[in-house]
Chains A and B, each alone.
Chain A
Amino acid sequence: MLNPEANKVNILYECNCGEKVGVEDTYYCKSCGKFYCNNCTFEEIIQYYCPVSFDTFGLSEINQIQGKSQKHFECPRCSSQLSPMVENQNETISSYSLKCNYCNWTTKEIGIETENIKSLINIIIQNEKEQKITVENQKQMKQLINYYNKKINPTKNLFKYSSPRNSPLNSPLKMVSSPYKPSYLYQPISNQSLSTQFSSVLSNNPKERVTVSELENELEKREKEVIIRSKNVDKDSIIDDEIEKKELFGNIDLNESINLERKLQEIPNQPKNEKDLFPKRIKLKSKKGRLCLSCGHPLIKPDLQQNVRFKIQNFGLLELPKITLLNYPIFKTKEKTEVFIVFTNLSSTPIQINSLKFSLESSLLENQNSPTNFIVQKFQESFFQSGSPSKQTIIEDLKSSNIAIYNNKVYIKEFITLQEEIKEKFLNLRLEFNIELEEGENKKEIKLKAIIHIQK
């Protein structure tokens, strides 16, 4: 039977970066001798695989395939896997198509039906490449890239100023008319052109001088001439827009129209109706490993063959003791409450725990009565035969002492009295302790901090 109060207690370990995570999100780095959380580790992709057939692909092959399977497709309506369907028209002739077992969509609705599965797959893959929009867009992209690559070509600028006469350093600077043009645009000009443009302003004769407001008026007139010369162009886009709008005036068949989210998955087409949807190739998944951010050593590395095993596995779960509470404590102000904490060892070596400390906000906890140093034995097969004791026997044993050891578990009793009422909805009981881990002949001591998060 499920304990309804189990969700109210949560045990978290504190990483060196300050993040608080569960045991399942911790990793142990042997070279650094520390435990890390997800943020202090770095994930990298090692291999790709198809989620349907479990075929594996290396990092070099992915670019050719675009990260998608070559044989398996997903339904355009509900994105579940499509499976082949056979219909025997005669004894000799049979037609193949793809069908979705969830929503009953078939490729017959698009008009794709063949005598071979191979030809079916080839048709779908060719259609994906030959869609008009994608082909046109790719051409335009290539043109754009070539256009801008020519502009950036560095050798072009070198040859432009090959002779000292042409270089910008020998000629005077032109006065830039617009304040927004960058000032380093050099253009060699003669003194005559300068004088003709600004002669009215620069002349010594006061009658010939022109005021700034008159200059501004001239500039505005020139602006209007430029705009009037340009043609009033109503492009095709405006007409297309109006036609699209008028198609919506009448009654719309909402059964065929697609959701916004689904539309945004079909880029660049972004179709509106289900008729325009096409089956897509299933996306490949990846096997990932983890590295330590500080030293770069691998913490986790999956096996490259088709299985779920690991070559290297330095999970924190395998080294750290599992901390739980035996019962859910009910706290009352100015009354002692018993808290029973359980340490279980899931690893293949015994764990030595040293200098265990409890702490709360200082006014709320009395002096610690529980022991500070003890060993949690490793799990053995003989424990199955002896069995585990019941809760009542454990609680009775703990009446006489503060510690009880059974198999690979250690039970500790501690008293907590709340001297003031807590306004928040939770209580954080902190544990600080050291663990001794064996690495060959050497032993390492690692400091750890854990938090027991109890909700009221």
Chain B
Amino acid sequence: MTDRLKLGLLSEKTIIVIEFGSYFIKCGFAGDSSPRYFIKLNSINPETKEKLFPLKKTNQITEQSWIHLVNKGLNLVFLKYLQVNTKDIVVIICDDVLCPTPLKKEIIKQLFEKYQVPFVLFAPNPFLTLIPYKKKDGLIIDCGRSETRIIPVYEGVPLYSNLYYTELGMIDIIQNLRELLILNLEEKSQITKEMIQEIDDETLEDIISKIVFIRGKYEKINPNQKINKKQNELIKKLQIEKKPKENQKEMKKLEIEDIKIPIRIKEKNYNLIIKGKIRGKISDILFEGKEENEFESIIDIFIECLKSCNCDVRASVSQNIILCGGTSMIPGFLSRLREEVDFKLDNDEYFKDVQFLKGKLHFNHNKKNANYISWIGGSVIGSLNDIVDRSLKREVYLEKGSKSFQDWSNFFGYIQDF
């Protein structure tokens, strides 16, 4: 039976889209505008007691832990959360750029051998993030939990040779919070340094999501900018005017207040005070980098990536810069990024060649979807008519084994048509 005939039979079948992130597994059905569930896995393998997360290429994890991770993850996705029979579905997996190869092999093996899925498609993440924007060229800045990655995409082809990344993410912001809390402890407080070090990463991340923001260097709003009605109302509430000079005076009036947060440490309740000075500085580490480990900041990498691109690539890519990832949802991220980039382009001699880009970069940042933009791209591809033709078949895998798929997902068929 040809694949086109099978298409008719499979047109009513369910198509599932899965994205294995470094902390969450996002899963849902194709055609939906958002994933149904964000699934969090245990970070430690109970048998071998190895740390599984964050998922990185440099992590040396044994085979048993990969098997355990994939086994549990897919079991939760198919049987507990989505509740589907796997013999009649098509699975699309959003393939991360730096996905470790043993993870990929284990996923394919379990999908075809254990769950008996008939069709599987691996789609590269950078290509999928551009689909909601209906564009073929773009520069993708993915700020995740463990690292940030910047990769340009030209004519739908991800340029892996120009990929740059640093190991700076939400984990570093959490550690920075911990250090700043220890430095700013009052003498009379009931909480000690040891107690702060015992606080979970999860509670600190929760605190960050509620009260942390990123301060800009120059806080102002462009007076010539057109503003909506809703924005106008909000500005009136906060008593901000359009003129820059008066704006600066009122910025000084808006002092940042200290906040008391109730915390439970060792089965006792305490009040943790986070000072106003700290709240805007916690996430500065992303823009300043770490001196100890020589990790470059996001901005250095961003400009180097632009510099490394070919001139015809750079012209089209700089007009569509997409921010995605969970840490990019911290308020103030975009404005700080723009300011820092303009500042570096003016003052750093290393980036002289690219100085003309100042003020001409076009950013796209949708905060509500930033966690799962690539998942949306997978959902769109899953609802297209000829998905079966493009996917890897179970019969082919059972004949050829690991030779039937490549380490880097090849997507030229779609790129040609789009």
Listed in ascending order, the chain A residues whose CB lies under 8 Å from chain B are: 39, 42-45, 48, 59, 62, 67, 133-134, 137-138, 140-141, 144-145, 147-149, 151-152, 154, 177-182, 184, 216, 219-220, 223-224, 226-228, 230, 232-252, 254, 257, 259-261, 263-265, 267-268, 270, 272, 284, 286, 288, 293
Contacts and interface: CB of A to CB of B under 8 A. Distances in A.
Given A236-B228, A241-B335, A254-B259, A67 B83 contact: yes
Contact of A245 (B214, B362, B364): B214
A224 B212 CA distance: 38
Contacts of A39: 71, 114
A177 B114 contact: no
B384 interface: yes
Given A152-B384, A236-B228, A223 B255 contact: no
A346 to B, nearest CB: 28
Given A220-B311, A257-B210, A267-B34, A246 B231 contact: no
B363 A219 contact: no
A332 B24 CA distance: 49
Contacts of B335: 238, 241-242, 245
A251 B36 CA distance: 33
A252 B259 contact: yes
A42 B206 contact: no
Nearest to A267: B34
Given A240-B231, A265-B37, 5 more contacts: A145-B380, A238-B334, A242-B335, A243-B238, A260-B202
Contacts of A236: 228, 231
A45 B114 contact: no
Contact of A286 (B83, B87, B235): B83
Interface string B325-343: 0000001111100100000
Nearest to A263: B209
A42 B338 CA distance: 52
Contacts of A259: 206
Counting from the closest, the 10 A-B pairs by CB-CB distance are A137-B33, A268-B34, A245-B331, A245-B332, A244-B331, A264-B38, A245-B213, A223-B311, A141-B33, A267-B34
A241 B221 CA distance: 11
B257 A144 contact: no
A180 B83 contact: no
A260 B205 contact: yes
A261 B37 CA distance: 11
B318 A242 contact: no
Contact of B380 (A148, A182, A184, A248): A148
B209 A268 contact: no
B312 A241 contact: no
B125 interface: no
A246 B238 contact: yes
Contacts of B391: none
Interface string B356-393: 11011011111111001000100111011110000000
Contacts of B222: 234
Contacts of B313: 178, 180
Contacts of A179: 310
Contacts of B33: 134, 137-138, 140-141, 268
Contacts of A42: 114-116
Looking at B213, B216, B219, the one whose CB has the most chain A CB atoms below 10 A away is: B213
A236 B226 CA distance: 9
Contacts of B37: 265
Given A237-B334, A243-B234, A145 B259 contact: no
Contacts of A240: 231, 367
B255 A249 contact: yes
Given A180-B155, A227-B357, A237-B363, A249 B256 contact: yes
A16 to B, nearest CB: 15
Contact of A251 (B40, B116, B257, B380): B257
Contacts of A232: 359-360
Contacts of A137: 33-34
B157 interface: yes
B35 interface: yes
B205 A226 contact: no
Nearest to A221: B311
A140 B368 CA distance: 14
A232 B372 CA distance: 28
A248 B384 contact: no
Contacts, number: 197
B83 to A, nearest CB: 5
A40 to B, nearest CB: 9
Nearest to B36: A267
A76 B368 CA distance: 20
A140 B369 CA distance: 13
A404 to B, nearest CB: 37
B311 A288 contact: no
Interface stretch (B53-61, B91-99, B409-417): B409-417
B416 A233 contact: no
Contacts of A238: 334-335, 338, 363
B132 interface: yes
A180 B357 contact: no
B31 interface: yes
Contacts of A288: 79
A244 B37 CA distance: 26
Contacts of B134: 144, 147
B261 interface: yes
A230 B357 CA distance: 11
13 contacts: A43-B79, A44-B86, A152-B417, A227-B315, A235-B363, A237-B365, A239-B225, A246-B240, A248-B331, A260-B206, A261-B40, A268-B33, A293-B114
Contacts of B332: 241-242, 244-245
B393 to A, nearest CB: 19
Looking at A48, A228, A245, A284, the one whose CB has the most chain B CB atoms below 10 A away is: A245
A166 B372 CA distance: 43
Nearest to B362: A233
Nearest to B390: A152
Looking at A151, A216, A241, A250, the one whose CB has the most chain B CB atoms below 10 A away is: A241
Contacts of B363: 235, 237-238
B149 interface: no
A239 B238 CA distance: 13
Contacts of A254: 210, 259, 261-262
Nearest to B255: A249
B248 interface: no
A141 B28 CA distance: 14
B85 interface: yes
A443 to B, nearest CB: 32
Nearest to A259: B206
Contacts of A228: 356, 360
A367 to B, nearest CB: 34
Contacts of B83: 45, 48, 62, 67, 284, 286
